[in-house]
Amino acid sequence: MTKPHKYTASELLAILAARQLKDGQVVFAGVGVPLLAATLAQRLHCPGLTILFEGGVIGAFVEPGQLPPSTNDQRCTKRANMVLGSAEVLLLLQRGYVDVGFMGGAQIDQYGNLNSSFIGDPDHPKTRLPGTGGGNDISSLTNMIVAMKHEKRRFVEKVDFITSPGFIRGNNTRAESGLPQGGMFRVVTELAIFSFDDVTKRMKVLALNPGVTREEVQDNTGFDLVFNGQTSVTEPPTERELSTLRMLDPDRLFTA
């Protein structure tokens, strides 16, 4: 069961992200890998996981092969416990009903700040990205797990623009900015799993993915990573994880 199987980078990402969730949690999941990973967790070790979607869904139970193209589509509501307004579902974050926010990311920095708005000067951007959506609300109001591709241009020292706040400039700057609750909890990539230093709030390596070296992670990161003695190595995906994932996304919509 622990012998290596063939899998793609995005399959690994989805599976490792799913493992971060605990049964009984309430998780606010973004579309793509987070939605898929939360659904996977629900089918594996978290049968009592409550999945929320930004479109206005509580307690979703997405059907295999019927992954929605956004979190605002009717597919998100199939066999859900509740459908409500989208301001209302976001307010659940503010009130505190949500344990974990679970999102993808385009660009992240050493304090876990995410950018999905602008590449370059916001007044004259090189690239206008889509923007925050619910990302800013989720990351402002709850504990975050981010699943994203690990590339040097995506892991930068300082994001061009803080769309979704992590720990802002580290230490207590997040709370001082008016965000006393939540913050980055984990970042999951195809190379490693990261957490954040309790005091400085800088990103640190928690575990390396199977077959990945410290150097490989550092080489693909645009800032100095914190390593400490406890860095472990993650168990590779199991056959059950892989087969369940492939059953959920047979068309490889989010695991190409």
Partner 1 sequence: MPKRKKRPARQWRRARPMNVIQDTVQPYNVLRENLARRDRSLREKVVTLEEAASFVNDGTTVGIGGSTMSRTPMALIWQLIRARKKKLSCSRCIISTDGDLLLASGVSDHIVSSWFAQGILWGLSKVMRHHIEGGHARYDEWSHMAIGMRFRAGAMGVPFMPMRSMLGSDVAKRRPETKEIDCPFTAEKLLLVPALNPDVALIHVQRCDAYGNAQIDGLQFMDIDLAMAANRVIMTTERIVSNDQIRRAPDQTKIPFFCVDAVVEVPFGSAPHECYGVYEPMLDHLEAYVKQVNSDPVGGMQKYLDDYVYGPKDWNGFLSKIGLDELVAASRRGRSIYDD
Site for partner 1 in 118-157 (CB under 8 A): 122, 125-137, 140-141
Q: How far is the CB of 163 from partner 1 (least distance, A)?
A: 6
* 54 a catalytic residue: yes
Q: Is 174 in the site for partner 1 (CB under 8 A)?
A: yes
Q: Is 117 in the site for partner 1 (CB under 8 A)?
A: yes
172 Cβ partners below 8 Å, 6+ apart?
none
Residue with token string 């150097």: 215
Q: Is 171 in the site for partner 1 (CB under 8 A)?
A: no
253 Cβ partners below 8 Å, 6+ apart?
67, 69
Report the site for partner 1 in 51-110 (rule: CB under 8 A).
54-59, 61, 69-70, 72-87, 90-97, 99
The strand pairing partners of 102, in sequence order, are 29, 145
Angstrom distance (rounded) from CA 196 to CA 185: 7
Report the site for partner 1 in 192-251 (rule: CB under 8 A).
none
The HSE-up count of residue 172 (CA atoms within 13 Å, CB side) is 2
Angstrom distance (rounded) from CA 212 to CA 70: 32
Size of the site for partner 1 (CB under 8 A): 73
Nearer to partner 1, 13 or 242 (CB): 13
From residue 179 to residue 198, what is the string marking binding to partner 1 with x (rule CB under 8 A)? xxx-----------------
Minimal CA–CA distance to 18: which of 253, 244, 250, 256? 244
Find the binder of partner 1 among 149, 158, 177, 238 (CB under 8 A). Answer: 177
Cα–Cα distances in angstroms (integers) from residue 23 to residues 38, 109, 207, in the given order? 11, 29, 21
Nearer to partner 1, 67 or 245 (CB): 67
Phi, psi of 241 (to 5 degrees): -60, -45
Angstrom distance (rounded) from CA 30 to CA 33: 8
Find the binder of partner 1 among 178, 198, 229, 251 (CB under 8 A). Answer: 178
Nearer to partner 1, 53 or 155 (CB): 53
Q: How far is the CB of 35 from partner 1 (least distance, A)?
A: 10
- Catalytic residue from among 54, 88, 151, 215: 54
Show which residues are catalytic.
54
